[in-house]
Chain A
Amino acid sequence: MKHKISHNSNRFSFILILLISLTNLSAQTDKLLESISSEMEHFNKVATLTKQNEHYQPYIISVFQGKELEKLGVANLKEALLLVPGADISTDNVNTQTPIFRGSNPLAYGQSKLFIDGISVNNLFFDAYSEYLSFPIEMIKRIEVVRGPGSKTDGFNAYAGSINVITYAEDFKDSASNDKLVFKYGSYDYRMGGFFKTYKTEDLKLFVDFFYQEDDKKISSGPDGLSQGIFGANNIALSKSGDAPLWLREYSLGVNLEYKDFSLKARMLEHTQGSAYGINLALPQESDRVKLPSYYLDLGYNKEVGSYEVNINAGVKYDTFDSKSKLLPDDLNISNIIFEDGIYGEHYAAQRTLYQSSYLKYSGINKHTITSGYRLIKEETIDMTSKLSNRATGDVALVDYTYTLPFFDKDAKRDTLIFSMQDEFQFNDDISFIYGFNYEQTSYKDAGLEPRVSMVYQLDTENIFKTIYSRSHRNASWQEMFTMNNRARVGSTDLKPEIVDAFEAAYIKKFSTDSYLQTNLFYLLNKDQIYNSSINPEYRNAVDTDIYGFEVEYKGNISSADQLYLNYSYVDGKSYTQDVGSSDSLPNVAHHLAKGYYIYNLDGDLSLSGVVKYVGSKDRVLGDTREKVKAYSSVDSSLHYKDPKYKYSATFSIKNIFNTNITYPSAPNTYIQDYAQERRTFLVTLKKEF
């Protein structure tokens, strides 16, 4: 009996130990599985935020990594954007440079939006972001460029594209940013110095970036606009040729702070540039300048509770147009008033944008993630002065015309409310949809309801298909609405928003994890594009444009030692000018664009690279009898060395090696020659990381 009890007891102990072991094993397995799921979720979140999984996202996107661009000798944001498929760049008489996506209205500035760490920085005056194009590449972790309007249903209207610049303030577990010091020196006596610094405690993260840069760039230009008789035949002889002051002087301080669920993003950019080709199209003096400062402060609150995520932001943004320049030359004769010492002018317009937005994301319904919210924007001019040499007597001394003949409406203001909703629907493992809309009301003409629907179909690991339909708009810029008493530009508050309906399709063939070929087709129906000309300077909704084309993009390698990136884009279409009643081919648009780069790793630390760009010829606008804008191709090359032990790098670059004549088109009846750009230049960069 005792034996039996003992036997039973042993058996019980054995079963108990087995059970405990199995339970323990099962608990360990569960813990491991839970840990794997959690890691997969973490990396998915990071990949989505950093666009590492760009091919599976429901928009047409190209992503460029800052460190790769540094290897290529790319100096700044502008040079990086010139690598984007279908992107070209244009300029104007004050050298407000603006990227053009897929040939969409090269005459307007706000066709694309620029975001720095999620903050929209387009200035209100032009709706441009020219002052940010010189942003040094060493301060940029990543550039995400979404072509087409299909990128936003969260209170932003990206018409032809949106550019997201992510600085090193982006911080994730496993990929912290290093502190760094950067110095650069190049042609035109270009000098740059900057740093990035982080400070972290358990709850607080502080990121600071600062840079200063200047150059003394001037490029031979002319004869200037007077040669075209814009100030009458009697002043044609006053036309000049010479060096256009294209110099730059700027500094920027950016601060990003995170404390628990709260964030603060602030930047102060002080940008000053030479007056380029002259506000009034007369070649200015070397010291004449335009200031385009930009400041923003954004406060955010982000909280996830269960299936809910709330994002609340509020902020303020200031931008200014501040010009001091000799506008017209000595001995100018206007209506028999002789301006013996020329005409000088000071134009100043400061704008303030206040905004507040709240968005709620809910992922509690199986396979759906619904996001909805609003964005309120209040924009206004807060200060304006307008001074000119005496218009009545011809005396050179400045007279304050702020109240009598202002260049701008000092009471300009606009209120906007945008409501948006979207659902991300994962139909199954292979197919996902995003559909939603923006609804916008403004204190002027409304864009109304703008839908968007997209689908991503992943056939297998190698083949991905996307289709997108979206409608978006561009509201008129301040310049287009509120400019007055100006021969070249007359604003109108009756302008309707420009509207685009975009149909896009993409096919991505993945050859391996890191190599792919992507083909995009697009058809864009643009209505009521805003236009003016020297003959009719009032801005009006005058042009409808149909644009179609395709882009092909390849990234991969030839050998194990290199990286190759190539893209080609073709764009064509018709532009219909309503008040002339005629159709024409797309003006100022290159039908063919090809770009690419090649990096050859000579050893683990040293690389040699080349960047090649081809921009096809461009037709002129209707009535402009000049020859087409000539096609050009340029080649840059860089040698990059990185010392992994001491964490420093040095790059030597030669841009435009073959000294090609690169020009951006000038508007008709302005400068008869197109605006010439830099010839061969060099750049040396030294960077030390800590």
Chain B
Amino acid sequence: MRKVILLFFIFVNLAYGYSYDDLLLKAQASIFPKIMLLDKKIENKLIEGRIIYTIVYEKNDYNTALEITKFIDENYNGHFNGYAYKINLVEFSDLSSMTQASAIYILNSDKDIKKVADIAKKKGIIAFSYDVKNLKAGLLFSLMLEKSTVLYMNKENLYIQKVDFVDSLLRMVKFIDKENS
């Protein structure tokens, strides 16, 4: 029996899905679209008059990405504060600078997160991350459920993005940089 179990784990090479904190996913899905609207240059990011909120996921996390989409649609009912939106689900491997996006939200991946950050910078859009550790790779925002709910922002990336946040938001966030991770 021992050998059977061992062999099973060795030879099964299908890979399906990271585990996610369901409450954190919901918190981020509720709050991130509102953060995006606090960009004074949001109008410049509209694509065909709409906000394209792009969720980037690993193939195995497709169900998680769908759940987030469903949650956002139930909460926002087609409009982010008056702006029509579309949720675009894109696999990590398909993401490129040609991908339509007004903002990017990335789930977990073992791939090069810096590539995503570079695409976001090039496009001048905000990149949100499920995992706060990805801010070190150049993404802009994450949110954690700590003693209180904390919105993290990578200070270094703020100044090279083509975004301009209202000052009140900057007073709400906790800055993170390479020294203060």
Contacts and interface: CB of A to CB of B under 8 A. Distances in A.
Interface string A598-620: 00111110001010000000000
Contacts of B151: 36, 40
Task: Indicate the member of B30, B130, B145, B176 with the most A CB atoms within 10 Å.
Answer: B145
A513 B24 contact: yes
Interface stretch (B34-42, B47-55, B156-164): B34-42
Nearest to A659: B1
B145 A53 contact: yes
A637 interface: yes
B7 interface: no
Interface string A629-651: 00000000100000010000000
Nearest to A33: B168
A539 to B, nearest CB: 43
Contact of B132 (A39, A41, A461, A657): A461
Interface in B1-47: 1-2, 5, 8-9, 12, 14-24, 26-27, 30-31, 34-35, 37-38
A563 B31 CA distance: 27
A33 B131 CA distance: 23
Question: Main SS of the interface on chain B?
Answer: mixed
A649 to B, nearest CB: 15
Contacts of A600: 9, 12
B93 interface: no
A52 B23 contact: yes
Interface in B76-133: 81, 108-110, 130-133
Contacts of A608: 8
Contacts of A57: 147
Nearest to B8: A608
A610 B5 contact: yes
B76 to A, nearest CB: 12
Contacts of A637: 5
Given A39-B34, A560-B18, A657 B60 contact: no
A47 B110 contact: no
A53 to B, nearest CB: 5
A174 B26 contact: yes
A365 to B, nearest CB: 17
Contact of A47 (B2, B15, B23, B71): B23
A52 B34 contact: no
Question: Main SS of the interface on chain A?
Answer: mixed
B31 A175 contact: no
Contact of B1 (A458, A512, A658): A658
Contact of B16 (A29, A32, A36, A604): A604
A393 interface: no
A392 to B, nearest CB: 59
Interface string B148-176: 11011000000000000010110010101
B17 A560 contact: yes
A44 to B, nearest CB: 4
Contacts of A33: 38, 166, 168-169, 172
Interface string A168-183: 0000001100000000
A512 B109 CA distance: 12
A557 interface: yes
Contacts of A41: 149
21 contacts: A29-B38, A32-B37, A32-B81, A33-B38, A36-B31, A37-B172, A39-B27, A40-B31, A43-B23, A52-B23, A52-B24, A53-B146, A175-B26, A461-B152, A512-B133, A513-B24, A514-B21, A560-B58, A601-B15, A603-B14, A657-B1
Interface of B: 1-2, 5, 8-9, 12, 14-24, 26-27, 30-31, 34-35, 37-38, 58, 60, 62-63, 71, 81, 108-110, 130-133, 144-149, 151-152, 166, 168-169, 172, 174, 176, 180-181
